[in-house]
Structure 1
Amino acid sequence: MDTSKSTQKTSPIAYSCYHSQNREGEQFAAEHVLSFQISGILTLNNGSKEYIFNPGDFRFIRRNQLIKFIKQPDPNVAFQSISIYLSQQALRDYSIQYNQKTNLIKSPETETVFQLKETSLLKSFMNSLIPYINEDQLINKELQNLKVNEAITILLQCNPELKDILFDFSEPGKIDLEAFMKKNFHFNVQLDRFAYLTGRSLATFKRDFQRIFDNSPSRWLLQKRLQEAYYQIKERGKTPSEVYLEVGFEDLSHFSFAFKKQFGMPPSKI
């Protein structure tokens, strides 16, 4: 059971609670996120690096990132985390109100996920949100805005190096499509998302993709994911149920059907 008493659709404050076995998936982080791990373990992977967060850890995830996650509840305690989403509009308003801006044209592409050092300010801020969640109170708009501004202020005081990331309002620029796709093919997202993250329109993305790979994006993605799945099963001894999400398939039956069509046998026979 995965619950969010305050979801991002109605509030920038979100509470995640998961009671049963591990949950795996992926998400596109469209906005910056500040989170606190209450209980359980969260493992994140951005395609090149793995991050593990234990109870009591704070994290900051920068926007426009593809991330895979594993939520692991403790045997006797549910997986619980609380997050606050820092939208571009909220950051623009804060920038104007408090005259905060970056002097960089674009923030450097360094880390995508940051483990933040625990401070009394961060801890007291997250604790101030918990009573509203536990008591299932609906936080009104004015209080939401105050909490978002408080989160930004605390981040700037505790981690001033994040300023150039928080107030970078530029969209993704045109990047090396070949390198990006070879790194991120296992993320199960729509082509328009890949196009956006590589700084292209969908039409330009498809045209550049055909020129670089001599194949359509859909066919290349399917073949690349199946090749990786074959390697993981044959060479690393993984089971089909361990692999299909990892390489970018939505469900096991579709993966098994595509695998058999490609290799002439079901993945369980490799």
Structure 2
Amino acid sequence: MTDHKKINQITYACYSRNVRDGEQFIPEHVFSYQVSGRLVYNDGQKEYIFDQGSFRLTRRNTLIKFNKIPPENGEYANISVFMDQDTLKNVSMEYDYKATKSHHDEPVFRIPDNDLLSGYIESLKPYDELDKPGNEVLKNIKLKELIVILLQTNPSLKDVLFDFTEPGKIDLESFMNHNFRFNVSLERFAYLTGRSLSTFQRDFEKIFAVSPRKWLQQKRLQEAYYLIKEKGAAVSDVYLDTGFQDLSHFSFAFKKMFGLPPSQII
């Protein structure tokens, strides 16, 4: 059972079963409070675990795989507040907040608990009241309030929240070898490497001597073969872990490349 109540930029999510959403591109900064259960993030290099009662800030323009795990005989519940660039720019101008350095290290930040944040979460309830027509101004005030609280309790976050630069042109080969497991569009890969789609495709073929789509499928299948053959991973896990959304498509492509269905690889 899944229940979503969306309040403009404030979302309450509740699940009574284990939910493996695969991966997600995070386009805006997201502040979240873990009401119950556990959230496991993985950026391809590192795992981040957030248990009940924890606060976190996920940075925009981030690729993340995640798993939502409810407690035994309970429900997974999470509150998230999305901070769009227009709102942050308005707060920056109003209060003269400026980023002093570019902060591109961690994709997610653990935020220490404090009375202001706990009080803020309480003030978002009841969700249905905030969702009623005519409360748009109140919702915008609540978003602004969160930004100010985060900066008051964690001043260094100004270098994250008010960094309005777009991704610059980066090492394409290194980026793709690190992120090929994420099932996102070529347009998204191009954006994250600081390129237009046409430039991305041209640069890609110069480096890898093959089209991006073909390279991605071959790379993902090779990774899947290794995980099944050498690590004993389950096929039902591998196809998601290596960037495939559909098990039947994965099995068909795997058999075409290796001559055997993934279930027969020992």
State TM-score, norm by structure 1. Answer: 0.95
**Number of residues paired by the alignment?**
264
Indicate yes or no: 2:44 matched with 1:50.
Answer: no
Give the equivalent residue in structure 2 for 1:5. 5
Deviation at 1:21, TM superposition (A): 3.0
The list of structure 1 runs, each at least 4 consecutive aligned residues, that deviate by more than 4 angstroms after superposition, is none
Indicate yes or no: 2:85 matched with 1:88.
Answer: yes
Deviation at 1:108, TM superposition (A): 2.7
- The one-letter code of the counterpart of 1:230 is Y
The counterpart of 2:114, out of the listed 119, 135, 138, is 119
* Deviation digits for residues 12-59 of structure 1 (CA, Å, limit 9, x no counterpart): 101111112343321110000000000011000111111000000000
The counterpart of 1:184, out of the listed 179, 182, 185, is 179
Indicate yes or no: 2:28 matched with 1:34.
Answer: no
| Aligned equivalents of 1:217, 1:130: Cα separation in 2 | 46
The counterpart of 1:109, out of the listed 99, 104, 107, is 104
Secondary structure in structure 2 of the residue aligned to 1:97: helix
Give the equivalent residue in structure 1 for 2:236. 241
| Aligned equivalents of 1:222, 1:22: Cα separation in 2 | 25
Secondary structure in structure 1 of the residue aligned to 2:56: strand
Give the equivalent residue in structure 2 for 1:171. 166
Give the equivalent residue in structure 2 for 1:99. 96
Deviation at 1:251, TM superposition (A): 1.1
The counterpart of 2:202, out of the listed 204, 207, 222, is 207
Deviation at 1:136, TM superposition (A): 7.6
Deviation at 1:249, TM superposition (A): 0.2
* Deviation digits for residues 199-256 of structure 1 (CA, Å, limit 9, x no counterpart): 0000000000000111110000000000000000001101110110000001111100
Deviation at 1:138, TM superposition (A): 2.7
- Conserved 8 A contact 1:5-1:136: no
Percent identity between matched residues is 56
| Aligned equivalents of 2:20, 2:145: Cα separation in 1 | 31
| Aligned equivalents of 2:154, 2:2: Cα separation in 1 | 31
- Conserved 8 A contact 1:36-1:82: yes
- For structure 1, the residue ranges without an aligned partner over 5 or more in a row are none
